[in-house]
């Protein structure tokens, strides 16, 4: 097993288990975590002996998204934000979700190929409650993974989607009992590894290529929305209200 202060990696045969381990912050992503995730995904991408990966959090939380107090650090050259969401990746990656996957945490899930979730898991996109927009892929990946009306409701209200409904809507591949998500995700990754790795990688690359133009438009629209919202008074107010632990006072500007 290898570790830095917030991300651990462990080889399980052909599978690389990557854990975000910052439980005191509900696995919120800071600069150190971004660097750790980037290094772990680089290893998964580059080591020919690794045929699948599992991305997990801790029992209470998969990830609460960006650490609004500390910031998530700079986007990485290979992975983009969090070292993950804009990665050109062909090694299958399974998300193992216990507890909350909120904001950027949900966007990490959406960047994976398969999803295993405990029945107590929750998914949410609460960015507009802070005067912000989801800027790590959810603006176009959520309407692809879920019915568009459900994705729009998540984006506009911030209300969480429980794991059972996420499974019924097709977002979640395996629904398991609390505490079993990581084990079930490893089992699913091992099933993936039972098949030819070259064919697996080429299959994922073909799927990505079919969506490449749509993704490029999605990222361009996301970057425009992010730039405009970050220049707004409401964005500054939303972050200030979060830090001061008070209700925001929106101006609409």
- What residues are annotated to the active site? 107, 127
CA-to-CA distance for 136 and 43, rounded, in angstroms?
Answer: 22
Specify the long-range contacts of residues 191-198, CB closer than 8 Å, at least 24 apart: 192/51, 192/52, 192/92, 192/94, 192/114, 193/13, 193/14, 193/15, 193/51, 193/52, 197/51
Q: What share of the chain is helix, strand, coil (3-state, %, to 5)?
A: 45, 20, 35
Contact 122, 114 (CB under 8 A): no
For 9, the enclosing helix (H) or strand (E) is: strand 7-12
For residue 86, give both structure tokens. Answer: 């804009």
């Amino acid at each position: 097993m290898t570790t830095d202060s917030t991300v651990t990696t462990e080889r399980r045969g052909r599978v690389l288990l990557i854990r975000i381990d910052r439980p005191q912050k509900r696995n919120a992503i800071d600069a150190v975590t971004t660097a750790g995730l980037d290094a772990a995904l680089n290893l998964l991408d580059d080591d020919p002996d690794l045929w699948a990966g599992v991305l997990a959090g801790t029992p209470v939380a998969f990830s609460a998204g960006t650490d609004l107090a500390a910031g998530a650090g700079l986007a990485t050259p290979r992975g983009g934000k969090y070292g993950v969401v804009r990665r050109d990746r062909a090694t299958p990656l399974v998300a193992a979700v216990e507890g909350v996957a909120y904001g950027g945490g949900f966007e990490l899930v959406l960047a994976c190929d398969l999803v295993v979730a405990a029945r107590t898991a929750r998914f949410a996109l609460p960015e507009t409650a802070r005067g912000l927009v989801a800027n790590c892929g959810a603006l176009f990946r959520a309407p692809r993974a879920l019915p568009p009306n459900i994705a729009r409701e998540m984006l506009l209200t911030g209300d969480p989607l429980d794991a059972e409904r996420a499974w019924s809507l097709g977002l979640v591949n395996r629904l398991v009992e609390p505490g079993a998500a990581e084990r079930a995700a490893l089992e699913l990754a091992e099933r993936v590894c039972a098949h030819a790795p070259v064919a697996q990688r080429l299959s994922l690359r073909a799927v990505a290529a079919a969506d490449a133009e749509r993704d490029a438009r999605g990222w361009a629209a996301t970057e425009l929305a992010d730039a405009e919202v970050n220049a707004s008074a409401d964005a500054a107010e939303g972050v200030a209200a979060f830090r001061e632990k008070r209700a925001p006072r929106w101006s609409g500007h």
